[in-house]
Chains A and B, each alone.
Chain A
């Protein structure tokens, strides 16, 4: 008989590299940077680790010529024959890595484990993400469909459904971008650290209409790491540990953009994962009960739709309930992505899910890198991490909080 995971597993240490275009660091440097910070934070040593979950989507394929194994970590850190599970779930890799580690602990397979998410993309020589076509399931279907191109279809559909002119729609998205950059500027570890104005966002060069440059996250190098144990052992490491309240993990059937009844204005996998996570965590009204949310805002439209699909506001009411009221600022009613989010903090694919939890962990401990974005009294936070594209997502919703 399955049991709820709530409060069974604790995070006792976390680390995160500086995110950005890390010309100075290769994938191994970043793994070490994040892991050492997490180990130090937990007060443990590498040799204490019994198993590792390593999430990386592109990194080692680019760096290591296509060899996708856990030896990326073991050869970097010289771990000695402990299991390293290589996890890959596109941009949702981070949440999946945490989930694997958590359930292994709950099953009492191990006592102390390490989770690492990492991505090194800026050694490739071009902007955007790589496409790995070798062995691709289908050579021409969906050819040239990019992340921005696919997410932008959701923006067009959202504008059309709610009768927004392009200008009105872009203005709502621009406000999200302004917020992201506001917090990126206040986060020393963030990739994009400059504030922008509404006009700058609206007038920026087009990437994938209707999304402009500032509607899109950068392409980022970075790594994040966590040390986890069962909650009963957590006190051994620290007092202000954080426990896992729930995982909601969902893979959509994946044919949304081909189904006539899918309108691109909601993330079905997110709704499913959120419902599951809320049920497990006992959350009835997420907007009231959650103190902060780090959600998957690879694009501004992604923040808008994820906010609605996580039920932080009503469907179609983002403008009124989030933007107009500035509810999503750190001192607002429902703070969202006060780290800068994927948009400004950065989005190294395999690292993002774990990095979102890092932000909540630090906020709970009142250790936000820059005090000006510290949210008062965070007890419960949600990290939303998804991979794929509109109509075809995997989604992980991770809820963490004080014990």
Chain B
């Protein structure tokens, strides 16, 4: 069967059912049981599900249980430079997802976040460059809604169905800053998840979906707001989360003749742990066996990334034939039946939720957390501030963003950054060929820890890393425990913001001790 055919059919499956009040469900209706079976194996979450949880930010919570007092305020004192990690987490999740998959095969990148690093200027393009994807792809930002991830998921399915793309990478990444000392503070976490949507190598099928759109206002930020605002929780739960989520799930189940018993796991959004438990009971799920860990204790509420990260967690434990219920909430709700396919068995070596949690690093103190989140103002230093040059960054994009190095075709040596002549044999530039280096692991050759550098997280660890397969990367080391850095330790590369200079986020690559 041609891909186009089968995808057309799938479309019908997704939107079929009585409750077609979803604004997204304006798709053609082509219901056929046979076709459904045929195409279940066609559209899938492939490669997948991987998430990255930033060690830096999200996990301070487990050590510092704060936030008993519920107090809001101080918005205007805070600077709005908080949102720098989403792009890094997104690239991280994307790299994990694309392991063993040819990057050139990705035809589109959809990036979803309520906290994109730029208000005007696309974020997906930065993530695409960090991931070293092809230039002739469509990249799009999905934003504003806690459901932006599952909305992007639908758009990706549609694109694949329509044949405009064979494989679409969707990455959801969120980094919402809670007000210090607010109820959100101990609750929020940051995270990202990535899924490759395509028709080959099925890992899991999105068998059916139901989307519901609502103008209900639950949590919001105005154009000028750094921190989220919300209404009284009794209202947002009673009239918002609970009825919307229940309605979406009920409609989905009804349309597909399914019941709660049909699912091995349910992965769904909830504002907090208590409402998550309540929802599980309302849906008729067995808390012990059917509810996927929503990561409140280990990561927190990761906003737009929450539901899809939980799905990743469920897929990590899943076996072929399992059915997973996925539910998301925000400006309405959506629910999905995910059927786990044979491909899950060959999906290995990804970090996903488990390995990222295993290798998480705790922040030393609350002050550091505030600093990372840019929620506190520190003493101004008269020291010369970093500057940037957009022309220079643009000229250097292939090595700064894409982490390409040069391979000398005269002597064979790999080198970074780009050279005018081979740094080993002095061969002319025409012998130098671009090679991607971001996937390379390496070992730490030497390092130092500068306590005086004007960086966000002193000491500034400078490192020289010898890459496996050739090349040496000189860069800052991040995500490190300063008491456990050793010459010879295994290292890897990570896409990070280097600094904000002249009002621009400036990204490039750092190294870090290999996770896991």
Contact = CB atoms under 8 A, between A and B. Distances in A.
Contacts of B396: 138, 141
A194 to B, nearest CB: 21
Interface in B369-390: 381-389
Interface in B453-471: 453-455, 459-460, 462-464, 466, 470-471
Give the bracket for the number of chain A residues in contact with chain B. 35 or more
Interface string A141-161: 111111011111111110010
B509 to A, nearest CB: 9
A219 B448 CA distance: 20
B392 A137 contact: yes
Nearest to A253: B423
Contacts of A151: 448
Interface stretch (B19-27, B250-258, B289-297, B498-506): B498-506
A125 B450 contact: no
A130 B384 contact: yes
Contacts of A255: 415, 419, 423
A24 interface: no
A209 B413 CA distance: 31
B452 A207 contact: yes
A81 interface: no
Given A133-B387, A140-B498, A209 B448 contact: yes
A260 to B, nearest CB: 5
Contacts of B476: 143-144
Interface of A: 124-128, 130-146, 148-157, 160, 205-211, 253, 255, 257-261, 263-264
A209 B448 CA distance: 5
B487 interface: yes
Nearest to A150: B462
Interface residues of B, number: 51
B476 to A, nearest CB: 7
B217 to A, nearest CB: 40
Name the 3 nearest CB pairs between A and B, nearest first. A152-B448, A149-B450, A133-B387
B487 A140 contact: no
A139 B454 CA distance: 15
Contacts of A140: 388, 393, 400, 498-499, 506-508
B447 interface: yes
Given A208-B451, A209-B451, A259-B415, 11 more contacts: A128-B383, A133-B385, A139-B388, A140-B498, A143-B386, A149-B450, A150-B462, A156-B447, A205-B451, A208-B452, A260-B413
A257 B459 CA distance: 20
Nearest to A157: B446
B445 interface: yes
B424 interface: yes
Given A160-B487, A258-B417, A141 B453 contact: no
B450 A207 contact: yes
Contacts of B445: 157, 263-264
B84 to A, nearest CB: 13
B455 A144 contact: yes
Which among B393, B449, B488 has the highest number of chain A CB atoms within 10 Å? B449
Which among A144, A150, A253 has the highest number of chain B CB atoms within 10 Å? A144
A374 to B, nearest CB: 37
A276 B62 CA distance: 61
Contact of B416 (A136, A139, A258, A264): A258
5 contacts: A139-B392, A140-B508, A207-B451, A255-B419, A259-B415
A136 B460 contact: no
Which among B459, B464, B499 has the highest number of chain A CB atoms within 10 Å? B464
B472 interface: yes
Contacts of A149: 448-450, 453, 460, 462
A143 B389 CA distance: 13
Given A160-B487, A207-B451, A145 B386 contact: no
Contact of A142 (B451, B459, B471, B474): B474
B92 to A, nearest CB: 18
A128 to B, nearest CB: 6
A51 B402 CA distance: 51
Given A132-B384, A139-B392, A206 B449 contact: yes
Contacts of B392: 137-139
Contacts of A139: 386-389, 392-393, 501, 506
Nearest to B424: A259
Contacts of B415: 255, 258-259
Nearest to B467: A260
B451 A260 contact: no
Contact of A209 (B388, B449, B454, B455): B449
